[in-house]
Structure 1
C-alpha cells in the first residue's frame, strides 16, 4: 500500500514510471546501495523525528548523521526519532521505505545540505525494495513544501 501511495504521489509529477523496484531488500543504506549499484552516501535516507505535535522528515545523504546541536538550533528541541510503529502510523510508510512522497498530513519535509554534493541521489519510494533516481533539485521540485536545512554532519566532520 505504501509503495502505491508513493507512486500515486510521483504520478502527479510524471515520475511514477521512474520508480525502481528490486527483488532484494533496500531497507538500509548499505542494502539500498547494493540494490541500486551506487555508493552508500548517494542513498537519500529519510529520518523521522517528533517535533512538537508534528513529524519532521529529514532527507539526508547516506553517510550523514544528525548533528544534535544543529538539530536543536533549527527545531528548538532535542532530536527524538520515532519508533518503527510511530513512523508507520504517523507517516504512512514503514521503516525501510520511509520517503518524502505521499506522506500523511502532519509531516514536514526537510532536505539536508548533505544531499547537494551529488548530481544523483536515490530516495526510497515507500517500500523496503524501491528507490528513484533524482537530482537534489528534482527532489525539491517533486516535494515543493520541502525546506533545505543544515542539520547533519558528515564522517569527515566527526573526526575533526
Structure 2
C-alpha cells in the first residue's frame, strides 16, 4: 500500500508517526485544506511529468499553476503530465496520494519556489486521505529533492 511506502520512507527520519490520516478524502488541494484546517496555498501538491530525461515530480504550493514557458525554459520540453493510469506504475503512488516519499527509483524530485512563502506545508503521504505537516527544511531533507525551481505562476502577489 502506498501510505505504508511513504511511512516507511519517513521512518528513516523519525517522522512516520507524524503522518495524519483522515476519515475523509484529502485527494484535492481543497479537500486536503479542509482536512488539515489550513489555507489551500499551504497544501504541497505533487505533480508528475514526463521529460526527455525521465519522470519527475514537482512539489508546488496549492495555489500555484505550472507556467508552460517557465517549465520549458527549465526542463527543455513542453510540460506533459503523466496520464492518470501512468501515475501509480511510474511514481509508486496513485493520483490523490502522490508525494515525494517512498517513490520509485529513478524519479527525480524538484521543489517549486512557491513553497518558500510558508513556515510549514502539508504534502500527501501516499494515500487519498493522508498528509504530514513539514517545515521547508524537513521537506527538502525528506524528499531528497534535486533542486529548487521556479516554474509556476498565479501565486505571487501582483
> Under a length normalisation based on structure 2, what TM-score does the superposition of the two structures give?
0.96
Aligned length: 158
Please tell me whether residue 65 in structure 1 is matched to residue 58 in structure 2: no
Shift of the alpha carbon at 1:131? Answer: 0.2
Structure 2: give runs of 5+ residues left out of the alignment.
none
The aligned counterpart of 1:140 is: 140
The aligned counterpart of 1:100 is: 100
Please tell me whether residue 20 in structure 1 is matched to residue 14 in structure 2: no
Instruction: Report the RMSD for the aligned CA atoms in angstroms.
Output: 1.2
Aligned residues of 2:109 and 2:144 also touching (Cα < 8 A): no
- CA–CA distance in structure 2, aligned partners of residues 53 and 149 of structure 1: 16
SS at match of 1:47: strand
Residues 143 and 47 (structure 1), Cα distance of their counterparts in 2 relative to 1, 3 Å cut: same
> Under a length normalisation based on structure 1, what TM-score does the superposition of the two structures give?
0.95
The aligned counterpart of 1:47 is: 47
SS at match of 2:47: strand
Aligned residues of 1:140 and 1:146 also touching (Cα < 8 A): no
Aligned residues of 2:111 and 2:145 also touching (Cα < 8 A): no
The aligned counterpart of 2:56 is: 56
The aligned counterpart of 2:126 is: 126
Shift of the alpha carbon at 1:156? Answer: 5.0
Query: 4+ runs of 1 displaced by more than 4 Å?
Result: none
- CA–CA distance in structure 1, aligned partners of residues 145 and 154 of structure 2: 25
- CA–CA distance in structure 1, aligned partners of residues 49 and 27 of structure 2: 18
The aligned counterpart of 1:149 is: 149
The aligned counterpart of 2:90 is: 90
